[in-house]
Chain A
């Protein structure tokens, strides 16, 4: 086998060509890895929102809290006979609406923010929710807290600010909260009864949540709820509900991965051009190597290796650069609720390895044909010049 050193030195000699080609690969890998990191961030936000032992109940036919409605007798869902529910928690009925808010970046753009009215037990129901600034809202008042991810992104929806649900019925932001990365961090939380009164919807809640003693009891609970003729509702594991919500975001991941793959076709051509040039300029060298006794196979391997080395340099640069994105978050949309969710880019070892493999594959595919050409060089003719 031809020593790898031959390849690394060859790449170093052609600094400009190597840099230009690797930079192209780096850009592709950047987009590719960014898409995966976005997908990972979205997945984590949604998974963090859903607990395995929590059940969410919506009106039959509704896919999201926003369009669902359940009458005020919902409390019964919290103590169905013979069903294993955690004692003392009961049914958490909540109201969910979206409000139109103007972006605070001065662009004049508007978007939708999800507002959740929760009963006093709602905070305790989700122990991951922590007040990080200000204080918790007083039950029965118009005080609300805003999720850290959207705090300050919209006019009126930041600490110390207020916004109106209806004329002269303002909600006052008194604090900020985090929720272990859950999508709750993109919501505003207030008092259930106050928000319902402001909206004139005292008789309904959007959704109901209950906590089971064990996640394996879900099927029994679901059957008990759906068999009850009083309610026309459906029960879902909270985790499944949020997984479904994240599907809309996943198609963005597929979209951007698709773009990255399109980009990679161009970058692969770039690598092929470079390797083609390298083979053409080094015909004499290749002839010499052949004359020294290196086989066609080892020449082929050597050039494919050089191409992969070239794209791996780019891939490594791309993977390193893309880590900067971990410092940023990206505003996108939950297509089930029309409202904004803020996603932070999350890198995992899997994504890094995947991106490096992706760059190596670009080298393999781009370098294969030039390498075959190199392996076919006849030593006698090449050395004759």
Chain B
């Protein structure tokens, strides 16, 4: 028997209370992890996005387009050294007439260069060949293809929020993600198909030969800031100015307003730690109060105040740590096992990757231990400073 035995055995004295406290701490850790995972999932794209890729869009608005000829300037090594390849796309905004999904990302892209630049998506060479042969060919992400219930060779009719009418496509391929943050819920079809359709309809309100954004691959990722600046400088004197940024910053420019919500999640996650603190502090305070007499006895038989202090602190931290570990286990099973994959499939646009990372687990455990220390320290000081005679007199 050593001194650690006392706090350990104490856990079993009020079994009901200990179990309730452990459940409460595990639950708060789980909630903390969920909120932090939202934040992480939001930010992670930036870290995972290809470092050697830049997005160029209209400086003023995400809804305004650039003249198609800009791509020739971007591809010209004499004007812009350092760019290996460039491709472009236009937002189309897919809607399924049968409403199996409320909305999905569909865009028209240059079929000759798109997958060369967006190389985190794997497409079979046969599918790329078929794409070149098929004017209305489309390539879908594996998750979207499953949702829409289509396979290679099928016809697919969708509508758009921007372009009127029914749009008929032929599925020529399915792309597979090569990286965990790759979007598996998108559909790409040929830009020339869209552009020609717009030419066919003289009433169309949408101008022709316009491109939504440019994606470029650069030689040297360390020069990305410099190259971004030179791209924007090149178009600075033109009517339509550009802004060039990292790929994730580009994605976030559509969802800018949502960042305030994610920030709110961060604040709320501190709230749950506070609730954990209140619960544990209450448990410790109640236990210490009940045992005042006992601590008096310990002091009377020769244990120094420091022992009493350590007993109480040890017990508080032990409960916090055990509850924290249980919460971490619970998160691993629930978030990384069940909820994460579900969110990635259904809310891929917001959270391409939704798993609780190691550093959040670490943060949660540190949080739990800190909560344990804070909730233990006041009762521990109080109990260790109490006069032996006072403590012994207390019979609760």
- Hey, what's the 0/1 contact readout for B154-179 against A, CB within 8 Å counting as 1? 00000111101100000000000000
Q: Is the CB of B286 within 8 A of A277?
A: yes
- Hey, what's the 0/1 contact readout for A1-42 against B, CB within 8 Å counting as 1? 000000000000000110011011001101100000000000
Within 8 Å by CB of A340, from B27, B257, B274, lies: B257
Q: Is the CB of A269 within 8 A of B203?
A: no
Q: Complex Cα distance A42/B255, Å?
A: 18
With an 8 Å Cβ cutoff, the count of chain B residues facing the other chain is 61
- Hey, what's the 0/1 contact readout for B182-220 against A, CB within 8 Å counting as 1? 000000000000000000000101110000000000000
Q: Is the CB of A109 within 8 A of B279?
A: no
Instruction: Give the chain A neighbours of B35 by CB distance below 8 A.
Output: 259
Q: Is the CB of A266 within 8 A of B275?
A: yes
Q: Is A141 an interface residue when CB atoms closer than 8 A count as contact?
A: no
Q: Is the CB of B257 within 8 A of A332?
A: yes
Instruction: Give the chain B neighbours of A339 by CB distance below 8 A.
Output: 257
Q: Complex Cα distance A199/B259, Å?
A: 28
A266-B31 contact in complex given A97-B63, A99-B61, A338-B62, C-beta closer than 8 Å: yes
Q: Is the CB of B205 within 8 A of A204?
A: yes
Q: Is A197 an interface residue when CB atoms closer than 8 A count as contact?
A: no
Instruction: Give the chain A neighbours of B165 by CB distance below 8 A.
Output: 61
Q: Is the CB of B161 within 8 A of A67?
A: yes
Q: Is the CB of A266 within 8 A of B161?
A: no
Q: Complex Cα distance A31/B14, Å?
A: 32
A266-B205 contact in complex given A21-B282, A273-B279, C-beta closer than 8 Å: no
CB interface residues, B 221-241, toward A, < 8 Å: 236-241
- Hey, what's the 0/1 contact readout for B258-283 against A, CB within 8 Å counting as 1? 11110010001001101110110111
Q: Complex Cα distance A205/B150, Å?
A: 37
Q: Is the CB of A61 within 8 A of B257?
A: no
- Hey, what's the 0/1 contact readout for B45-56 against A, CB within 8 Å counting as 1? 000000000000
Q: Is the CB of A263 within 8 A of B275?
A: yes
Report the minimum CB–CB distance from A350 to chain B (whole Å): 23
Q: Is A220 an interface residue when CB atoms closer than 8 A count as contact?
A: no
Q: Is the CB of B162 within 8 A of A67?
A: yes
Q: Is B290 an interface residue when CB atoms closer than 8 A count as contact?
A: yes
CB interface residues, A 237-264, toward B, < 8 Å: 252, 256, 259, 262-263
Q: Complex Cα distance A316/B59, Å?
A: 50
With an 8 Å Cβ cutoff, the count of chain A residues facing the other chain is 65
Within 8 Å by CB of A332, from B159, B253, B260, B276, lies: B260
Report the minimum CB–CB distance from A252 to chain B (whole Å): 6
Instruction: Give the chain A neighbours of B381 by CB distance below 8 A.
Output: none
Instruction: Give the chain A neighbours of B64 by CB distance below 8 A.
Output: 97, 199
Residue of A whose beta carbon sits closest to that of B164:
A61
Q: Is the CB of B282 within 8 A of A270?
A: yes
Q: Is the CB of A61 within 8 A of B396?
A: no
Q: Is the CB of A338 within 8 A of B27?
A: no
Q: Complex Cα distance A339/B62, Å?
A: 10
A16-B61 contact in complex given A24-B275, A110-B253, A339-B257, C-beta closer than 8 Å: no
Residue of A whose beta carbon sits closest to that of B258:
A333
Q: Is A378 an interface residue when CB atoms closer than 8 A count as contact?
A: no
Within 8 Å by CB of B20, from A97, A273, A280, lies: A273
Q: Complex Cα distance A16/B256, Å?
A: 44
Q: Is B303 an interface residue when CB atoms closer than 8 A count as contact?
A: no
- Hey, what's the 0/1 contact readout for B233-254 against A, CB within 8 Å counting as 1? 0001111110100000000011
Q: Is the CB of A59 within 8 A of B164?
A: yes
Q: Is the CB of B160 within 8 A of A267?
A: no
Interface window among A117-125, A131-139, A164-172, A296-304? A164-172
Q: Is B60 an interface residue when CB atoms closer than 8 A count as contact?
A: yes
Residue of A whose beta carbon sits closest to that of B290:
A281
Q: Is B149 an interface residue when CB atoms closer than 8 A count as contact?
A: no
Instruction: Give the chain A neighbours of B206 by CB distance below 8 A.
Output: 69
Q: Is the CB of A269 within 8 A of B61?
A: no
Q: Complex Cα distance A98/B255, Å?
A: 12
Q: Complex Cα distance A245/B274, Å?
A: 35
- Hey, what's the 0/1 contact readout for A332-346 against B, CB within 8 Å counting as 1? 111000111100000
Report the minimum CB–CB distance from A319 to chain B (whole Å): 16
Q: Is the CB of B164 within 8 A of A99?
A: no
Q: Is the CB of A269 within 8 A of B290?
A: no
- Hey, what's the 0/1 contact readout for A88-121 against B, CB within 8 Å counting as 1? 0000000001111000000001111000000000
Q: Is the CB of B241 within 8 A of A167?
A: yes
| Residue of B95, B241, B243, B285 ringed by the most chain A CB atoms within 10 A | B285
Q: Is the CB of B261 within 8 A of A332?
A: yes
Instruction: Give the chain B neighbours of A66 by CB distance below 8 A.
Output: 63
Q: Is the CB of B161 within 8 A of A63?
A: yes
Q: Complex Cα distance A70/B206, Å?
A: 11
A203-B205 contact in complex given A100-B59, A280-B14, C-beta closer than 8 Å: yes
A64-B282 contact in complex given A100-B61, A204-B205, C-beta closer than 8 Å: no
Q: Is the CB of A64 within 8 A of B161?
A: yes
Q: Is the CB of A266 within 8 A of B61?
A: no
| Residue of B16, B243, B253, B257 ringed by the most chain A CB atoms within 10 A | B257
Residue of B whose beta carbon sits closest to that of A252:
B261
Q: Complex Cα distance A341/B14, Å?
A: 52
Q: Is the CB of B31 within 8 A of A270?
A: no
Q: Is the CB of B162 within 8 A of A269?
A: no
Given contacts A17-B282, A272-B20, 12 further A-B contacts (CB under 8 A): A16-B282, A31-B268, A61-B159, A62-B161, A63-B161, A71-B205, A100-B62, A100-B253, A110-B253, A269-B279, A331-B257, A338-B257
Interchain Cβ contacts under 8 Å between A and B, 28 examples:
A17-B282, A17-B285, A21-B278, A62-B161, A66-B63, A67-B162, A97-B64, A100-B62, A100-B253, A110-B253, A112-B61, A112-B62, A166-B239, A199-B64, A259-B31, A259-B268, A266-B272, A266-B279, A270-B278, A270-B279, A272-B20, A273-B17, A273-B20, A330-B260, A330-B264, A333-B255, A333-B260, A338-B257
Q: Which residues does B use to contact A, with CB under 8 Å?
A: 14, 16-17, 20-21, 23-24, 27-28, 31, 35, 59-64, 93, 95, 159-162, 164-165, 203, 205-207, 236-241, 243, 253-261, 264, 268, 271-272, 274-276, 278-279, 281-283, 285-286, 290, 396
